[in-house]
Structure 1
Amino acid sequence: MSMERFSHFVLFGATGDLAHSKMYPALFDLYQNNALPADFAFLGMAFDDLSVTEFQRQVQKTLEAQYEASEHISEFVSMLAYAPVDFGEPATVEDTIAEHADTENGRFVFYLAIPPAAFETVSLCVKRFQETYCDCQLRVVVEKPFGQDLESAKHLNNTLREFLYEEQIYRMDHYLGKETVQNILALRFGNSLFEPLLNNRYVQNIELDLIEEEGIGERAGYFDGTGIIKDVLQNHILQVLSLLMMEPPVQIQSNFVRDEKHKFLASLAPLDLSSFHLGQYGSNENGEMNAYQEEPDVPEDSQTETYVSMQMGVKNMRWDGVPVYVRTGKRLNEKKTEIRVTFHPSFQYFVNQKETCNPAPNVLVIRIQPNEEVYYTVNAKFPGEGMCIQPVKLHFTYQESFNVPIQDAYTRLLKDAIEGDQTLFIRSDEIEAAWEYVTPVLEAKKQGELTPQTYTSGSTIEEVEEEITEAGE
């Protein structure tokens, strides 16, 4: 694994929403913290016919909306070059990059912040550049979704492997850049308390909830052709579960970690479609929230799912028999991403408990967002006579324990791409194993065997489950 810092950063799709919402704030954070290479050079490319000055003004406006106006923003923006190009003309793209960078011994990060439909076109541009300037070193960062199904993911992997090694490909899933997700590795393998207990001897079940208050907003063009199975389940959820449930790696280094993640994904039991619930949000009771089919640019007969719940299983010695419950959806009552590991109860020896005593199974909770925290519930004796036990929390929050701002996921991942650390990026075999796992669901949905039921916007998970169950009876 190369850990050499690459200084030339070329952003394809430099005027898009992703670039402005995530990329420029992340690069600016790195700039403010002196984390960019001393010879860092940026080139943005897109179809938009803008001058460099116009482009820089747009980026400055984006940053000033998030940070207090300062000379640091102006200094950073002045480093950014821009060129309008047609990605359908690889020779022009190649010449444009060559005009702005050292092509003799240059070290480039090419970031593809582009719609999936443009991926292959831009890949041809990267391929041509690599073939012409073979002395240059490249890393290519690819945004999710990586493919739309197993076949397309394999095709994209094969396309990239025609001119790149796996060590040069950085498949992005921003969830892996979140501090609390990375902390799963620290909790498991940096402490002697939890790892010996994370198996089917002690764990009763695992729950993972990833829910949002917001609907799709103005993302219909992307989301309606994707749905939450492809947008969240196939990537974010399976990646988080991999870190939680994989076997210990030889070392916490990229290929060792990704070896174990792939083994876990390959060990997932075939999905039981009878455990699957699909939903699509309707309006709320007073009509203030749009139903999904009322959102701008969504077809009125759309069958795209915005909610999924399911039960998963793992066929290996560590986890066989432990159910994993997953729920993810949009337009619920809160924004929350949380893992709950419930252990088998062991308070049966405490007899004649009063009604006011409520012992409960131990639970390990990892709150990824918001209010990032980790806590473990244990039973303790309530003060007074008798042996009355009740659950209490042992916990830490990031804010209380470290009192430093939590780094944005994109900031961490861009830094890793520049420095050549692939630990938090996804390897080709992981991508294909994840797509293979969800393929039966996608096929059943395509055949009409699984259809989403309407649920009320603003509902709790329990209310959504009740609505979907009743509608499906």
Structure 2
Amino acid sequence: MSDRSSTMLLFGATGDLARRMLLPSLYALHSDSLIAPDLRIFGTARSGLSDDEYREFARTALEEFLPEDRKAENMIDSFLDRLQYQALDASTLDGFDDLAKKIGDISGGLSIFLSTAPFLFEPTIKGLQHAGLAGDNVRIGLEKPLGNDLASSAQINDAVNAVFPEERTFRIDHYLGKETVQNLMALRFGNMLFEPLWNANAIDHVQITVSETVGLEGRAGFYDDTGALRDMVQNHMLQLLSIIAMEPPANFDATAIRDEKVKVLRSLRPVAEGDSVRGQYGDGAVNGEAVRSYAADLEGQSDTETFVALKAYVDNWRWQGVPFYLRTGKRLAQRRSEIVIQFKSVPHNIFGGRGGKLEPNVLIIRLQPEEYVRLMVMAKEPGLDRGDVKLREVPLDLSLTTAFAGKRRRIAYERLLLDLIEGDQTLFVRRDEVEAQWTWVDGIRANWAKNNIEAKPYAAGGWGPSASVALTEREGVSWHE
């Protein structure tokens, strides 16, 4: 199988993900000459469109979602020339032969991006195999959700792996394509400063927050069947945790990195009773605007959680006894994704006799909306101290946006699509990772069901239920806000 595929096939090519992310990302790769001039791009979905009609659909999407500085009419036209379209009902085998005929020669390799409803995964895989679109030179990228528990995930993976072996299967978690997430490994393993302290001897606790200000945003049916735990914790947040906690890999390659991540996921202690909080937003105000409750947005009553807070432990030598606090939710006070590493206090305060108060160091890694790394350190205030020594916490900031101001900031799907085309699995999730994630999350859900843990109400525009504050403060810890 050659490294680069000469043909790409997008399932769900008229969907919201294609409009907002996939087509703009492929255009960006085209405009920067990162994909081969002869790469052909085929779209398929149920909509009955001609090639020209699909190109107009794509043009409209690019006009809406491309930044103004990326729009160039001649470049858009040349990108649209790559596109072709074939209508397909993936629930039946009938149309797959026509799809294969439309695509034609795939001897140069075919990369498939599958973004469809979960119930279509199995028939789509069968259809691709039936039509000869699943050979040794074909790789497939799978967009979540890949099931809603371990059993359903295993069923999907079994169906996929029966046709596409693991080395040709690319499971997508778009968080792994974010530039700052990739910088976590550079921060840890490229700097002598941090790695010797990256353990239970020096770190008191870790916080991971992924907060949203939006509500359902057109995803009511999917979200109410899924909830915050399965929508965010099972994939994005556990991937962040595994990168933070993993041992140094021997090499920067797909096998070495994913081997270390799965060790962390398998070391997660089952969440104890009382170490999790469920919440659901009520009426409130976000950014000064009144918003409705989840029930009103849903237009019906539901016990689905829109907020989760957890206390987790990684049971290995490096992290024994260090709590990892995770929280995520909708309709919260700010949109934010960040990791906070709280170091322990120095063993002895030499300034205590002169009134100097010390705060333990904190490392803040902000993923969005800003991208920065901030280390909070203690410094002496200027002055001729004749009595007390005045110390103050000050930040050492590295703004990635400023530091790399001359570099183009790329959205996650640009990298992931290019890696799919080129066959690099480093930023994709392996099956054993997925199953370790589901095993842990299924245990939390079973505990909720056994103990009848209900979603506690919280006002939209805040930071979740008061119980999430109690989760940390009983250990003398406060959420970083």
Normalising by structure 1, we get a TM-score of 0.93
Structure 1 partner of 2:327:
327
User: Do residues 102 (structure 1) and 105 (structure 2) align?
Assistant: yes
Structure 2 partner of 1:243:
243
Structure 2 partner of 1:288:
290
> Structure 1 pair 372/96, CA: closer, same or farther in 2 (3 Å)?
same
Structure 2 partner of 1:52:
51
User: Do residues 451 (structure 1) and 450 (structure 2) align?
Assistant: no
Deviations 1:223-250 (A, max 9, x none): 1111111100000000011111101111
Deviations 1:329-380 (A, max 9, x none): 01011100110101111162221354xx653111111000011000111111
- Kept in 2, the 8 Å contact 1:454–1:468? The answer is no
Query: Aligned partners of 2:377 and 2:469: how far apart in 1?
Result: 30
SS in 1 for 2:340: strand
- Kept in 2, the 8 Å contact 1:280–1:306? The answer is yes
Query: Aligned partners of 1:226 and 1:61: how far apart in 2?
Result: 31
Query: Aligned partners of 1:11 and 1:426: how far apart in 2?
Result: 19
| Paired residues for 1:37-436 under 5 Å | 37-67=36-66, 68=68, 69=71, 70-103=73-106, 105-129=107-131, 132=132, 137-284=137-284, 288-295=290-297, 298=298, 300-346=300-346, 348-354=349-355, 358-386=357-385, 387-403=389-405, 404-436=407-439
Q: Which amino acid aligns with 1:47?
A: R
Any gaps of 5 or more consecutive residues in structure 1? none
Query: Aligned partners of 1:76 and 1:133: how far apart in 2?
Result: 24
- Kept in 2, the 8 Å contact 1:50–1:84? The answer is yes
Query: Aligned partners of 2:142 and 2:320: how far apart in 1?
Result: 34
Question: How far does residue 117 in structure 1 lie from its aligned partner after superposition?
Answer: 2.2
Query: Aligned partners of 2:425 and 2:58: how far apart in 1?
Result: 28
The percent identity for this pair of structures is 37
Query: Aligned partners of 1:453 and 1:133: how far apart in 2?
Result: 48
Query: Aligned partners of 1:153 and 1:135: how far apart in 2?
Result: 23
| Paired residues for 1:6-17 under 5 Å | 6-17=5-16
Question: How far does residue 187 in structure 1 lie from its aligned partner after superposition?
Answer: 0.5
Query: Aligned partners of 2:134 and 2:312: how far apart in 1?
Result: 46
Structure 1 partner of 2:26:
27
Any gaps of 5 or more consecutive residues in structure 2? 473-481
Query: Aligned partners of 2:2 and 2:370: how far apart in 1?
Result: 33
- Kept in 1, the 8 Å contact 2:86–2:102? The answer is no
SS in 2 for 1:274: coil
SS in 2 for 1:283: strand
More moved, 341-350 vs 420-429 = 341-350
Normalising by structure 2, we get a TM-score of 0.92
Deviations 1:181-209 (A, max 9, x none): 00000011111111111000000010011
Aligned length: 461
Question: How far does residue 97 in structure 1 lie from its aligned partner after superposition?
Answer: 2.3
Question: How far does residue 95 in structure 1 lie from its aligned partner after superposition?
Answer: 3.1
SS in 2 for 1:284: strand
SS in 1 for 2:397: strand
> Structure 1 pair 134/319, CA: closer, same or farther in 2 (3 Å)?
closer
